[in-house]
Amino acid sequence: MPSWPRGAVRRIDWYLVALFAVIGCATLLPASGATADGLALTARIMVGLLFFLYGARLSPRAAYDGLRHWRLHLPILALTFLVFPLAGMAVGLLPHSVLGGDLATGILFLSVLPSTVQSSVALTSMARGNVAAAICSASFSTLLGVVLTPLLAVLLLQQGTSGGLTFAPSQARDVVVQLLLPFLVGQVARRWIAGWIQRHRLLTTLCDRGCILLVVYSAFSQGMTAGIWQRIPPARIVTLAVVCLLLLGVALALTYGAARLLRLPREDRVTAVFAGSTKSLAGGLPIATVLLPESELGLLVLPLMLYHTLQLVVCTWLARRWPSAASPEDPTPTLVTAAPSATGERPG
């Protein structure tokens, strides 16, 4: 009888499996009518809770400490909030027949998102990079993303790739009420609840991931009701995967090249590559529920879902190979296994 290889089950990303299971559930059993309305309202409330937890877990000191290592963090932030948006705009210049307006807009939204905290820290740890620097960089990127991502999204998506999206003043209010205000309240409350959050990491992680799964189910249910899958030929999905893979490849190459050009040590190059090339699904989906039209949400976040999957697969493969590629001239530093991330989670 065939059996799983030793450790294979442990290497499966069950959260990723759950994400695609929720998409399948929304495809087969989409919420509609009053149920869909209640689900959308619950998702918005959960988004506020999620950003409150972000604020409560994010250490301002960790983000501030990152400023002192500007030679590492400057290229990471430049790629995240400057080069990536330019690449997203370039994708929008492709003929409409390649991706269509909605998927191209989704790529543009993906391009303005901050770096992911948990994945970039875990990948850096796996590749024996500078874990402390990864924590600082991802924290600072998240902090900037709370403000920069909505601003860049409004600025770039209004110009649009297919007639553009329109943003009403109420959406600016939603950004403040649902994203910025809970985040700031969490920062203020951090001094009283940070210890509790550290002691109950499993509970807060389940809250995080449960919120994302709820947002995904709500978004794809609305998309099924609007008939999004009938509007996407299979060939276009393949094309989208190729575009996302090219974006990831360019990001990996640019971060590595910039780190070498700045003569950063090996462990900092590892940090630059993983912090600069990854995009935050956990931060992107809640922002999408506030900024993007509900009827198009499932289609517009599809590039983010696909890019997230590719970054996990490609970067995990790269991180597992990187330590064995170290040479005596490019020494591998001692792995820091006990450093908690700025969000209160362990990096591994």
DSSP letters spanning 284-313: HHHHHHHHS-GGGHHHHTHHHHHHHHHHHH
pLDDT along the chain (348 residues), means of 10: 49 70 80 77 77 74 65 84 91 83 87 81 78 76 81 76 52 66 84 82 75 75 68 83 92 90 87 87 78 74 84 82 55 37 40
CATH fold for the domain made of 14-320? Na+/H+ antiporter like fold (1.20.1530)
Longest Cα–Cα distance of the chain, Å, equals 64
Q: Would you kindly state where each structural domain of the chain is located, as residue ranges?
A: 14-320
DSSP state of 13: -
Question: Which candidate, 245, 229, 223, 226, places its Cα nearest to that of 308?
Answer: 245
CB 302 within 8 A of CB 106: yes
pTM over 0.85: no
Q: State the Cα–Cα distance between residues 329 and 279, nearest whole angstrom.
A: 31
Spatial CB neighbours of 158, under 8 Å, sequence gap ≥ 6: 164, 165, 166, 167
Spatial CB neighbours of 266, under 8 Å, sequence gap ≥ 6: 129, 326, 330, 331, 332, 333
> How much is the pLDDT for 247?
93
> How much is the pLDDT for 66?
56
DSSP state of 53: H
Give ∠ CA 342-276-146 in degrees, rounded to 5. 55
Task: Specify the residue for token string 């309240």.
Answer: 185
Question: Which candidate, 295, 286, 311, 342, places its Cα nearest to that of 84?
Answer: 311
Q: Give 264's Cβ-side CA count (13 Å radius).
A: 27
> How much is the pLDDT for 243?
92
